[in-house]
Every structure is written in C-alpha cells, then in structure tokens.
A and B are shown apart, each in its own frame.
Chain A
C-alpha cells in the first residue's frame, strides 16, 4: 500500500482508515492478544498451582501492557495524526439521535456518522479500560507506595475488568469476521462509497462535500490540493 492510496482513493471508494490508523490497530491487536494469552496462565495458573515459567510470562505481560498505549499516543500527535484525531472527535460527539439510539438499546434507526453508536461505545469502553488496566497494572507492579487496601482494590479491578475486556474484544472480533467489507477496510484502508452511503450516510455526505471542495480548488492551484481534512 503506497502513500498515494490514502490521499487519492480510486473512484467509488473512500478512505476509512489511513495507514497510521491501520498500523496502530494491528499493533494493538497483537499486543492485546499477547496480553490475553499471557494473562490466562498467570491468572488461572496461580489459582490452580500450574507449573509455568512464571517470571518470563510475567515480563511479557508487563512489557506488552506498558507498550500498548504508546502507538495510540504517537498516532494522536503530529501531522500524521490528523485522521486519528478527527475520528476521536467523531467518537466523542454524539447527536441527539445517537443518544436516543443508546437509550432505546439500538432499536431506533439513526443516520450514522462514520462510526455507529455501538462502535462509539466500544471505542470509549476499550479506551477507558486501557487507562484503568494500565493504572491498576502499574499499582500491582510497583505496589510499595500503596496501602494494602489500594493493592487489593487494584487486583480486584484489574482481574474483573480483564474478564469484561475479553468479552468486548471477542465481540469485536466476531463483528469483524461477520462484516467482511469493514474488516477489509482495516487491511486496505478503503471502503466502497456504496457502503458509506448505506451504513455511514453522514460520513458519506461529509466526504462528498470535501471531495467537491478539493476538486473546486484544483482550478485555483496552490490552495490545499489533496487536503482531505
């Protein structure tokens, strides 16, 4: 995938995730996978007294955990983070329609933005969980300054939330596997305009408008050519 793909998609397709977002996503996926795979023997192994090279597994878990937020933070700053920041704003801002959708547990149709309300909830929950898991994990690793009750609370939150996160991530994987167009866009970046029109009409309208602006500005050279933001 070369760089021009992102700024000038072929006709009939829209860039859903730019190269930065895709890179961060797949790094996260690998780290999450490693965290879960190492968490299982650490947790159940210690409960049932299984034999395992605990120290090595612990180190992998620790460093994957510490590494997890780094690509996300890097992807949010600088000029390469423009699309990431835009999408974060999309997740943060909710229209009245979307809030109603949430109140009625998804039974009300909504004119969806780039991300539908369910995807927004998923992003917010996973994002907050990363912060909480990082914080509680750090307390467990560097526990000395903390009182016993705080250590117990951190253990409780870290363990409980990991169960919830596994369920959320499994749900995410199931959704991806049952939605091949969307899944493909996490590999290739682009998705068909037809898809956008149907499932993300608000995003489609916005992209069409900005494409029109871009083609308008082609007639007056030197003004923001190719800028899609």
Chain B
C-alpha cells in the first residue's frame, strides 16, 4: 500500500493531518472524562433546571428498575415487616412510621455509575430506632431488606444499620416519596452509593449471615461506601 498514492499532486504536498486530528479528538474525549464531572456541575448550576432536564448537563436522578415495572402500593395498604432474629416482630403501617420521631437528612445522592444529585432532602425514621424497638437478639450480625418488587434485596451489617444517617424514608424533597423513587417507603443509606438504598421497602429481617443483595450479585461491592471504590478497604466499619 506504500506506492499506491502516486498521483502527481498527492505525496509531497499533502500532510497527514487526519491522523493527528483523530488522535486529538480521542485525547479530547479522555480530557473530558477527567474534567467532565466538574464541567457538568458548572453547566448544571449555570443552566438551572430548564435545559438540565433533558441534556446530560444537569444533575438529575436516573431511575433504574430491575424488574421492568414499578410496584403500585397505596399508602393505605403499605406494610413494613420487621422480623427475623428479634424479640418483637412488628408490622408497621405508613402512619405508624410517620408517628415515630422523624429524622431529616440533606445529602448528595450519588450513584455508583457516576451521576449525582446534590442537596436532596429525605425524611424518615432511623433504621436503628426500628431495630431497637424490635429488640435484636444475640447472634444477629446483619439486616436483610426486601422490596415490593419481589426481586431486589439489600443487606447491611448491624453496625452499618445503626448509623444515624441510615433511615427508612417516606418523604423526599418535601413530598411523599413517589412511585418511581421507591415510594411510599424506601431505604435511604446516606453514606453509601444509591444502589444500597433499596426502593419499595417491604421487609427488614435481622439475620445471622449477610447475604449479598441483587446488585452485589451483579458485581457491586457489598459495602457501598461513597468514599471508596471497593468496600473491603474501607477503614470505617470493616467487612460485611
């Protein structure tokens, strides 16, 4: 292929700028990956909520469902079971939960895949409150969560479950949690990536063995701490 382009005006005059442009554009893409997070935050604060709604410049929630549909649960029929290795298995209605002392958190919601929504307000009951009320038995090591969608499960160690910013949330951004966002009641595990905050929470079971949840079985770390990419090296609370 070397002597192919021997038409009179080609070889001497022409320059191989195409390859340079190609490599330059690839480099630009790599640069975008490095600074893209910052660019996005700047753009989303500049654009406000208008354009940011559709284009990738805004900080928006991205909603994933693992079953292909969102369970429909009316606030009246909602029930939360607390069971397993506890002295007093309990079933809560939504109004039972609302009657308990509320906790409000304002935090950045961070997805493990790289999107975030800053300053999201959550209101709910501390998980530790529900566990203490049920009376965790000795021999218990963790908590397993189940979802109304019938597929998603999650788990926390008992230590993690007792953190003050792990709540059973019924309000998000000042309104009842919507169906897409896991309403009427979902888990919100503030110090961890979004996938730990199980939606459509139906049951809390205290267990003697941590079982990896849906996302963990699909390769996500069981300890989804926000400040580490893998849970096992996190100094905060050790292994699950």
Contacts and interface: CB of A to CB of B under 8 A. Distances in A.
A132 B29 contact: yes
A55 B70 CA distance: 14
B17 A51 contact: no
A28 to B, nearest CB: 17
A143 B65 contact: no
Interface residues of B, number: 59
Nearest to B58: A47
B53 A47 contact: yes
Interface string B1-39: 100111111100111111101110110011011111111
A152 B115 contact: yes
Interface in A135-174: 135-136, 139-140, 143-157, 159-161, 163
A51 B18 contact: no
Given A132-B25, A144-B229, A94 B18 contact: yes
B160 interface: no
B32 A147 contact: no
Interface residues of A, number: 62
B99 interface: no
Interface in A28-84: 44-49, 51-55, 82
28 contacts: A47-B62, A51-B69, A54-B64, A54-B66, A90-B5, A93-B18, A94-B17, A95-B10, A124-B22, A124-B25, A128-B25, A129-B25, A144-B219, A144-B221, A148-B114, A149-B34, A149-B38, A150-B33, A150-B37, A151-B112, A152-B36, A154-B33, A156-B32, A156-B40, A157-B29, A202-B7, A205-B8, A206-B6
- Which 7 interchain pairs have the tightest Cβ spacing? A151-B114, A153-B36, A132-B29, A159-B56, A49-B180, A152-B37, A92-B18
Interface of B: 1, 4-10, 13-19, 21-23, 25-26, 29-30, 32-40, 53-57, 60-66, 68-70, 110, 112-116, 180-181, 219, 221, 226, 229-230
